[in-house]
Amino acid sequence: MNDSLSVWNVTEDLEKDIQDVIPQKDILYLTIRYSLFISSAICDALIIYFYYRIKKLKNPDNKLIVNWAGTNLYYYLHHLIITDIICFAVLKLEFTPKYLISLSTTALVINYVFGLAMLVRWIVLNFNYKLSKDLKELLEEYFVYFIYSLGLTIYMYEYFYYKYHTYEVAIMCLDSIILTAVVINIIIYVYKIKSSSFYVIYVANTIIASLVPMVLYHYLFLFLVDSSSVVLDVVFYTRIVPQVIMFSCSIVVCVVLYKTSKDFNIAFKVIIGSHYSHRGMNNDWVFIEDVETV
């Protein structure tokens, strides 16, 4: 009898400990998050399947939507993978749903801004706006890469903030990373390194483009106005809404395009083939151009 009571008490203690470590609201949010992600991923996959038929229609608006949907799924998965690697493999952070949510949800927000950048670029192309070559390169290299790497900046800042418990040290760490990136860029341009220079320049430029505005923001706002961690508050208040938008947009687009095609297999092969063919061109981001169907 006593043994049974002791086992029961231990079980209750374990349940209480689990509730303390994983709050109910975090469990609920985690369930909502992955439910919406799975649903939106399925919807985006269906949109990818519609690609072949919509390409036949040759409608710039449909083409714009399909390209956005296909790359949206691709990059969202990419961000989640990068987040997990950084948090658990590199930084050796303890796994808790609350911490995972605060970090990986940032990837979703960044992914949506990235989608906006894609829309801007495709609108420019579809409506034949006349832009200079330098302006196009600036749009692609800095605007898109800035958005793409902004999530990593927030991850790094949160990590340093949690580790040292002071935003001054966190910003100092980010400053040192920026300085390193600047030095790398100078070395590359001075010595004109050819082997793998594209990748090094890409990394250096993205770090500089994303970290400089973030550091300036914290210097101006946190030091002069408020000493609280605004980044964490922003991440907290931008969790649910972007995911609901992602889910809703995918459903709406799928419903609109539902009757346009049944050639799912061909569309899938075309999209996957275009992804891999573009990634072979020394470029880490994909805009799906016109591709030959087999």
**Tens of pLDDT, residues 63-74:** 555 555 555 554
pLDDT tens digits for 15-40?
Answer: 444 444 445 544 554 555 455 555 55
Residue 287 domain-assigned (yes or no): no
DSSP 8-state secondary structure symbol assigned to residue 294 = -
The structural domain count of the chain equals: 1
Where does residue 220 rank: exposed (0-12), middle (13-18), buried (19+ CB within 10 A)?
exposed
Q: What is the pLDDT of residue 231?
A: 45
CA–CA distance, 170 with 172 (Å, rounded to integer): 5
Q: What is the pLDDT of residue 71?
A: 52
The range of the structural domain enclosing residue 219 comes to 24-279
Would you state the structure tokens that stand for residue 200, as one six-digit string? 């090094």
Grouping H, G, I as helix, E, B as strand and the rest as coil, residue 79 is: helix
Residue 6 domain-assigned (yes or no): no
The mean per-residue pLDDT over the stretch 239-262 comes to 44
DSSP 8-state secondary structure symbol assigned to residue 94 = P
| Residue 166 in this model has a pLDDT that exceeds 60 | yes
Q: DSSP string of 221-264? A: IIHHT--S-HHHHHHHHTSHHHHHHHHHHHHHHHHHTTTS---H
CA–CA distance, 242 with 186 (Å, rounded to integer): 38
Q: What is the pLDDT of residue 118?
A: 52
Residue 172 domain-assigned (yes or no): yes
| Residue 165 in this model has a pLDDT that exceeds 60 | yes
Residue 236 domain-assigned (yes or no): yes
Highest mean pLDDT among 134-143, 161-170, 206-215, 234-243: 161-170
Residue 294 domain-assigned (yes or no): no
CB contact burial 128-142 (16+ within 10 A = b; e otherwise) = eeeeeeeeeeeeeee
Would you state the structure tokens that stand for residue 244, as one six-digit string? 């609901």
DSSP 8-state secondary structure symbol assigned to residue 225 = T
Q: What is the pLDDT of residue 211?
A: 47
Residue 217 domain-assigned (yes or no): yes
CA–CA distance, 84 with 93 (Å, rounded to integer): 10
Q: What is the pLDDT of residue 51?
A: 57
Residue 10 domain-assigned (yes or no): no
Would you state the structure tokens that stand for residue 168, as one six-digit string? 């001054």
Residue 73 domain-assigned (yes or no): yes
Sequence length of the chain is: 294
